[in-house]
Amino acid sequence: MKPENLLKALELDKAGDWEGAHALSQSANTPEACWLHAYLHRKEGDTGNAAYWYARANKPVPDCTLEEEWDHLRMAFSQ
């Protein structure tokens, strides 16, 4: 998935369009897209599904806030 699409998905999430962000995150099977997908399910409260996607992204389930994780995602996708 292109970095600009990852950033677009984050912006959709920030604007309250969880569905749009989720649709974009599902459109690729890269580790970055899996991490974004995991974050979105964590935000949704679906911890089991989130854990699956964190594992697919080779990331531990974070113990930070959702806002902090959003910032981590933004920094990672901006590089």
pLDDT tens column, 60-77: 999 999 999 999 999 999
Global pTM reads: 0.94
- How many residues comprise the chain? 79
pLDDT tens column, 14-56: 999 999 999 999 888 899 999 999 999 999 999 999 999 999 9
pLDDT of 58 strictly over 80:
yes
Q: Tell me, what's the pLDDT at 3?
A: 75
Q: Tell me, what's the pLDDT at 4?
A: 86
**Domains, the chain, ordered by start:** 3-78 (1.25.40)
Cα distance between residue 51 and residue 14, in whole Å? 21
Cα distance between residue 8 and residue 68, in whole Å? 18
- Tokens for 59, please give them: 């990331």
